[in-house]
């Protein structure tokens, strides 16, 4: 029998976990891909490098479906770029990041996609993009078709942020119809703008516009109202729809009910909505926790956990936004002027693992589905999200028993704070393999250089998730 060619890497001794099951196996890697999953009792083929995963889990590299990298929204621009964001992602066990091409005034969605792709050339990990449409015009259908041909098949629309990025329901409808024709998926930020603006006006009338009062200015009702309106459009058009950063049981229940009627509707939540509650707005540095939707009450957070455990949430996105404390503080007296969003691409894994697996007892296979497999499927990223022969060798080795305390100085994100500072978390990677290269281990980060590939989304199948 011919000797198989030498492997570049074997990861042995661990439990390999995919969304559909877990088993002890040796992962054999060659030329950036998984080429074998071998019986752990058999000797591995000859190889250049070994990772010892005894006592640990080996899960697919994370796919973060929701990152804002150096994004300008309103008056502020995030402080990172594709180099720093991708390094932080890799150190935290995420090997694919999906950013948004949100066109500034005067630039077309297609031009913004092309220019973001140039920015991504310095990425250390693989990247993909969501397009973004704010207003329908007679060029938009063609632009969506060209974006799809160029591998961008997800389009974000915001139902809020008037005069910045808000898209009206007529635009949402036309974009969904076009996406349906191009085997794509609408990504929706769902908060009903009229309710938010009214709540903001009322808050201003009582001098309650500062960061401590953020939740009153973005009520839970606003989320459910926008979800209901967009679901009706999706049902009418027969198009699939994905709701980003869902925080409330009411909106998740609407999405699930629509799914039972046959609407292809999907739900994302974020680690911060599971780990933090609105008490943060009464403590030190309330501005650091300003994000949209806001952190919710403890009882809403506990209902959100219940929805995740019941299998009613499909993905975990970080909604990573890298603003500094100085940027957050500048207008903290007026939430309508502040930069929204929190840093999180690096902490998505340990925060969510601690909340869902350690605290709630979510089976690890289901965690893998939320963290990697479903985001890969819903974004048409073949070769990602599962440890399988032929797939990219994107792997995370993690010790399910070891803990680490969050300290901003240990993290790699381009900001001076973490919303999780001081929390003791489980699920930190002990090793990360990206495209077959060990980029994180006990010695720290090993920079592979700007080797991240631009991923092209496949046409999305009729049924995205079973």
Residues 340-379 that bind ligand URP (CB under 6 A): 340-341
Cα(20)–Cα(370) distance, integer angstroms:
12
| # of chain residues touching ligand URP (CB under 6 A) | 10
Which residues have CB under 8 Å from 337's CB, separation 6+?
74, 75, 331
> Per the structure block, which two tokens stand in for 172?
């949402």
Based on CB atoms, which residue is closest to Zn ion, 51 or 98?
A: 98
| Beta carbons within 10 angstroms of residue 105's beta carbon | 8
In the block, residue with structure tokens 């329901």: 169
Residue 427 touches which member of Zn ion, ligand URP, none, C-beta under 5-8 Å by kind: none
- Of residues 189 and 218, the one with the C-beta less far from Zn ion: 189
What DSSP string describes 121-169? Answer: GG-SSEEEEEEE-SS--TTHHHHHHHHHHTT--EEEEES--TTTTB--H
Neighbours of 260 (CB within 10 A): 8
Residue closer to Zn ion (CB basis): 67 or 239: 67
Answer yes or no whether residue 268 interacts with ligand URP by CB under 6 A.
Answer: no
Q: Which residue lies nearer to Zn ion by CB, 99 or 319?
A: 319
* Contact between 346 and Zn ion per CB under 5 A: no
Find the shortest distance in angstroms from Cβ 318 to Zn ion: 9
348 binds Zn ion (CB under 5 A): no
* Residue 305 lies near Zn ion (rule: CB under 5 A): no
189 binds Zn ion (CB under 5 A): yes
Task: Return the number of the residue (8 or 319) whose C-beta is nearest ligand URP.
Answer: 319
User: Does residue number 457 form part of the binding site for ligand URP (CB under 6 A)?
Assistant: no
* Phi, psi angles (nearest 5°) of residue 188: -120, 125
The Cβ-side half-sphere exposure at 366, using a 13 Å CA radius, reads 14
Distance linking the first and last C-alpha atoms of the chain: 41
Strands 21-24 and 15-18: antiparallel
Q: How many CA within 13 A on the CB side of residue 132?
A: 26
What minimum distance in Å lies between the beta carbon of 270 and Zn ion?
Answer: 9
CB atoms within 10 A of CB 443: 7
Which x/- pattern over 288-317 shows residues binding ligand URP (rule: CB under 6 A)?
---xx-------------------------
Range 67-126, binding ligand URP (CB under 6 A):
68, 73
Q: Which residues from 3-22 bind Zn ion, rule CB under 5 A? A: none
User: Which is closer to ligand URP, CB of 126 or CB of 319?
Assistant: 319
CA distance 34 to 339: 41
Distance CA 330, CA 339 (A): 9
Q: Which residues contact 138 (CB under 8 A, 6 or more apart)?
A: none
Residue 50: enclosing H or E segment and its boundaries? strand 47-52
Nearer to ligand URP, 30 or 189 (CB): 189
174 vs 319, beta carbon nearer ligand URP: 319
Among 174, 210, 277, 319, binds Zn ion (CB under 5 A): 319
Q: How far is the CB of 180 from ligand URP (least distance, A)?
A: 23
Which of the residues 326 through 345 are near ligand URP (CB under 6 A)? 340-341
Among Zn ion, ligand URP, none, what binds residue 340 when CB lies within 5 to 8 Å by partner kind? Answer: ligand URP
Cis peptide before 60 (omega within 30 of 0): no
113 or 321, CB closer to ligand URP? 321
d(CA 376, CA 98): 10
Chain residues 179-218 in contact with ligand URP, contact rule CB under 6 A: 189
CB of 73 to ligand URP, least distance (A): 6
In the list Zn ion, ligand URP, none, the entry touching 291 (Cβ below 5 to 8 angstroms by class) is ligand URP
Distances (CA, A) of 260 to 256, 257, 444: 6, 5, 46
Q: Among 277, 319, 346, 392, which residue interacts with ligand URP (rule: CB under 6 A)?
A: 319
User: d(Cα 4, Cα 28) in Å, to the nearest integer?
Assistant: 11
Strand 62-67 with 94-100, pairing: parallel
Q: Least distance (Å) from ligand URP to the CB of residue 12?
A: 40
Give the nearer residue to ligand URP in terms of CB position, either 323 or 428: 323
Interface with ligand URP (CB under 6 A): 68, 73, 189, 245, 291-292, 319, 321, 340-341
Interface with Zn ion (CB under 5 A): 189, 319
């Amino acid at each position: 029998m011919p000797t198989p060619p030498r492997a570049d890497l074997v990861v042995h001794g661990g439990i390999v976990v995919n969304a559909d099951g877990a088993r002890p196996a040796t992962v054999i890697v060659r030329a950036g891909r998984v080429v074998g999953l071998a019986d752990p009792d058999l000797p591995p083929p000859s190889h250049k490098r070994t990772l010892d995963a005894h006592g640990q889990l080996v899960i697919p590299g994370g796919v973060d479906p929701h990152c804002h990298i150096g994004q300008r929204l309103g008056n502020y621009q995030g402080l990172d770029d594709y180099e720093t964001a991708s390094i932080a992602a890799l150190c935290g066990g995420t090997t694919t990041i999906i950013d948004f091409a949100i066109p500034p005034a005067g630039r077309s969605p297609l031009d913004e996609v092309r220019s973001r792709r140039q920015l991504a050339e310095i990425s250390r990990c693989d990247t993909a993009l969501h397009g973004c449409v704010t207003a329908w015009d007679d060029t938009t259908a063609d632009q969506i078709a060209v974006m799809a041909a160029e591998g961008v098949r997800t389009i974000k629309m915001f139902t809020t942020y008037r005069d910045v990025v808000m898209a009206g329901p007529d635009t949402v409808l036309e974009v969904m119809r076009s996406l349906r024709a191009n085997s794509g998926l609408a990504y929706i930020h769902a908060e009903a703008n009229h309710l938010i603006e009214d709540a903001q006006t009322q808050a201003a009338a009582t001098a309650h516009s500062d960061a401590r009062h953020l939740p009153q200015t973005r009520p839970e009702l606003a989320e459910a109202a926008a979800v209901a309106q967009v679901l009706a459009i999706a049902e009418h058009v027969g198009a699939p729809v994905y709701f980003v950063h869902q925080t409330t049981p009411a909106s998740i229940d609407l999405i699930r009910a629509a799914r039972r009627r046959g609407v292809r509707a999907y739900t994302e939540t974020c680690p911060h909505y599971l780990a933090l509650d609105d008490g943060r707005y009464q403590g030190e540095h309330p501005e650091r926790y300003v994000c949209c939707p806001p952190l919710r009450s403890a009882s809403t957070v506990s209902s959100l956990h219940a929805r995740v455990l019941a299998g009613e949430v499909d993905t975990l996105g970080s909604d990573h936004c890298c603003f500094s404390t100085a940027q957050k503080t500048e207008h903290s007296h007026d939430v309508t002027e502040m930069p929204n969003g929190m840093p999180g691409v690096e902490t998505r894994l340990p925060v969510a693992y601690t909340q869902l697996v350690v605290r709630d007892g979510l089976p690890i296979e289901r965690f893998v589905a939320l963290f990697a497999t479903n985001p890969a499927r819903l974004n048409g990223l073949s070769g990602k999200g599962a440890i399988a022969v032929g797939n990219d060798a994107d792997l995370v080795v993690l010790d399910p028993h070891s803990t680490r305390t969050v300290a901003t100085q240990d993290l790699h994100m381009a900001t001076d704070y973490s919303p999780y500072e001081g929390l003791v978390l489980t699920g930190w990677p002990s090793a990360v393999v990206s495209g077959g290269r060990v980029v994180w281990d006990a010695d720290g980060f090993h920079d592979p250089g700007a080797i991240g590939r631009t991923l092209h989304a496949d046409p999305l199948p009729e049924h995205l998730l079973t």
